[in-house]
Amino acid sequence: MRVVVVYKDNQDYTRSVDVFLGDFSRQTGRVLETLDPETTEGETFCRAYDIVEYPTIVALSNEGQVQNMWRGMMLPTISEVSYYVAQA
């Protein structure tokens, strides 16, 4: 499994996402992959998975199929995301 957090720096929501990422790391001992949608890699990823709202957290299977997706500032709980990280 692959879990990717897609978000931009210097936005109203950036601090909330950074806090979520820090809390996730402290509670699970794992670091989530982050991606800036304004980079070449980020733009390609967003186009492939139809991501147009930020922040977005995407859980992908090993084959690249979307398992779950959380869009916008209603961030999921750490336990919701850790389920997909634990499957890796």
pTM for the whole structure: 0.93
Query: Does the pLDDT at position 88 exceed 70?
Result: no
SS (H, E, C) the chain: CEEEEECCCCCCCHHHHHHHHHHHHHHHCCCCEEECCCCHHHHHHHHHCCCCCCCEEEEECCCCCEEEEEECCCCCCHHHHHHHHHCC
**Domains held by the chain: number:** 1
User: In which domain, by residue range, is 53 found?
Assistant: 2-86
pLDDT in tens, 28-67: 999 999 999 999 999 999 999 999 999 999 999 999 999 9
Q: The domain that contains 43 carries what CATH number?
A: 3.40.30.10
pLDDT-derived band of residue 70, with 50, 70 and 90 as boundaries?
very high
Top-confidence residue, 32 or 87: 32
